[in-house]
Chains A and B, each alone.
Chain A
C-alpha cells in the first residue's frame, strides 16, 4: 500500500503543524507516508471563482505528482471534495470544448484514490481509536464540503469520541456554514463576517476550550473571527488532536 500525503497549499504555507500531525499519526498507525514534492494546490480558489481554465494545469500537476500511489490522504474536506467532485467536471468540460479526453481520463483516475483524512482512517485503516490523548473540552464544526460533498457523516465524531480525556460539547447550528467560502469571504465580506460572528457566538456558548474541524481554511476564518473578538477558544485541526498523545501532547 503506497500512501501519499496531499498536504494542500493552505496547510503547507500557513499550517505546517497539521501536515506534521498527519505524518505523525499515520506513522504511529504503521503507515509509511510519502510527500511527493511536485504537489502544490488543488486549484479550488481559481475554480470556485470561475477561472476553470487556470485550474487545468493544477489538475495535471496533481495527477502527475500522485501517479502510482494507491491512497492520497488529504487533511482537508474541501480540497478532497475539489478532486473528487470537480476534477471530473473540469475534464468533462475540456472534452466538451473539443480539447480531447486526456484531462477527463487523468481526473477520473484520481477520484477513487483521494481520501479525506477521516475517510482514510475509518474506511481504509478501519480504526476509530487511534490512541490519542487530548484532555480538553472540544466542539466540532462539520465543514460544508466534508459534510455535504464528501458525506463524511459521523466519521470525525467517531474518531473524536475515542480520544482519551476529550469531552465533546454540542455546537448549536453546527451544520450551518461558517461563512468562509473562499473568495466569498472578501467578495461578500459583510455577509461572510455576519455568518462568522454567529458561528463564533455559538462556539463560545458551547463552553468548549477548542473548536475543531477537518479544514484549516474554514478554521482560519473562524479562528480569525474568534481572536478578533478576544475569545480564548483555540481553533485546532482534527489531525492535531488525533496526533496528540500522553507522551507527546499537543
Chain B
C-alpha cells in the first residue's frame, strides 16, 4: 500500500496546473511568508540555536543507530506502566490492529488528535470501511475533513484555504457530521473558531475512544508526548476511556533529558513560538485519571528500509516541523497537493519515495521536485541535508542500484522513461571527456548560431516557452585562448580512454 494518494499524476503534471491557480499561490505566499518571518524572529532569540540544531541531529542519529535497543526498552516501559504495545510492519497491519481495538470497545465513533502517521496509513478511510466514524478535532484537519479534501501542509493542513472558503465549507458540511454551523456565520476568524468549538465540543464529550499520534516517545519511562496549539489534543488524550496511539518507530528518544532539546527546536521551527500552548505527556494508564486502556501501535511502514540506506536514513531525524515547506520556493508555487501524499514540500519529496520504495511514477518524480537551492537544509532544525538525499534518490531513479525493500537487499532497476535522457547524459559526459570533440562541437555551434530559432522544438520547448535562449558567441573561450595565447603552456591531457558510463575501471587499472 502506497503512501501516495490513489490516481495522483507525477509532480510536474500536477504542478503545471496548480502553479496557474492564482488564488492558491496568493494564499500560500501570504501564509508561508508570515510563518517564515515569525520563525526567523523566534530562532534569532536563542544564542545557542546552532548548537541545539547539532544536538537535535546527534540525539536522533544516536537513537536511530541503536533503534532496536530503544524500541525494546520503550515496549518494556509502556507495558510496565499499564499500556499495551503492538507492532505494525506496514499500513495494512496498523489499520487492522486499530480497527480491531476500536471494535473490541463496541464503539462506532472515535475522536482524533492531528497525526501524520494516521494520515500516512489512511486510517480514517480504513475505519470508515469498517463502519467506524473518525472525527478530526484539529481545526485545520476538521476543515479538510469537512471539505472532502486532502491536507496540503504538515502543520497547517488547510493552508490552501482562505477564510471565505472555510465559512462556505462550515455552512454546507458541518450539519452532516454533527452540530451544524450557527445561522448567519460570517468569515470572521473568531466566529469561525467558535463554530468549530461548538461543533467539536459535542464530539469530545461523547467520545469513548481517542486516537492520536505522538511527537516523541521516551524509551526510559514509556512516556508519549503530543505538542499542540488548540487544546483539542488534550481533550482527546484525557476524556476517552480508550486511547490508541499510532506512532512511527523513529519517534523514540532515549531519555526525558533528550526532550529538552526538541521541545525548544520544534515550536520555534514550526509555529514560531517559544513554547507551544499545550504539551501533553502520558505514561501508560493511571487509576481514576485519563484513559483506562492505552494501546501503542508502533509503525514501521518503510522506516526500517529507509534506515538501511546510508544517505537516506537522515530523513528519519525529521520532527515534522514544516520549516522546510515554509521556506521552499517550489512548495510555495506548486502547493502541497502536487506532492500527492500527506507529506508535501521538501521533506515529502524525500520521505514519500523512501517509505514507498519508489514504487509509483509519482514517487520517481518527487526527487526532481526541487531546484536544489538548499533553503530547506539551511532551515531544518535537525540538519537533514535534503538536497543530498534528493540527488541520492535521483540516482536510484535513473541509475538503479541496491536498496532495501521490505527488509530485503534488492537490486533496483532504473525507472522507465529515462532512456533518451540517459543517452544524452552519457553522450555529454563522453564529449566532455574528449576536449577535441568538444572543441569541434563548439565550432559547429558558433557557425550555426545565426540559424538558432527563438523557440526550440521538442524538449527545448520547455525552456523557450517562457525564456529566450542565449546567443551563441562567434568564438568559444577555448578558441579565444588559443588564438590570443597559443596552446596551453601545460601539456594538454589527451582524450580519455574510459567509457562514458565511467563505472570506474580506472581505479582498478591504476
Contact = CB atoms under 8 A, between A and B. Distances in A.
Interface of A: 7, 9, 11-17, 19-20, 34-41, 43, 45-58, 60-61, 64-65, 68, 86, 89, 94, 96-97, 99-103, 144-145, 147-149, 175-177, 179-197, 220-221, 223-225, 227-228
A144 B432 CA distance: 25
Nearest to B441: A13
Contact of B472 (A7, A14, A61, A181): A14
A13 to B, nearest CB: 5
B176 interface: no
B428 A189 contact: no
Contacts of A20: 477, 480
Listed residue (A179, A188, A189, A196) with the most chain B CB atoms within 10 angstroms of its CB? A188
A103 B506 CA distance: 9
A41 B442 CA distance: 13
Interface in B448-494: 459-460, 462-463, 465-470, 472-473, 475-478, 480-482, 485, 487-490, 492-494
Contacts of A65: 493
A186 to B, nearest CB: 4
Contact of A12 (B374, B378, B429, B442): B442
B391 interface: yes
20 contacts: A13-B442, A15-B473, A50-B367, A53-B502, A53-B503, A54-B502, A57-B429, A57-B496, A94-B504, A99-B504, A148-B375, A176-B375, A177-B371, A177-B373, A180-B371, A185-B463, A187-B368, A189-B465, A193-B467, A224-B467
Contacts of A38: 435, 492-494
B432 to A, nearest CB: 4
Contacts, number: 248
A224 B469 contact: yes
Interface of B: 11-12, 15-16, 19-20, 25, 310, 329-330, 333-334, 367-375, 377-378, 388, 391, 394-399, 421-422, 425-426, 428-429, 432-433, 435, 438, 442, 445, 459-460, 462-463, 465-470, 472-473, 475-478, 480-482, 485, 487-490, 492-494, 496, 498, 500-504, 506-508, 510
A103 B503 CA distance: 11
Given A12-B477, A60-B506, A188-B330, A181 B462 contact: no
Given A61-B493, A194-B19, A195-B333, A48 B391 contact: yes
Contact of B468 (A36, A50, A190, A224): A224
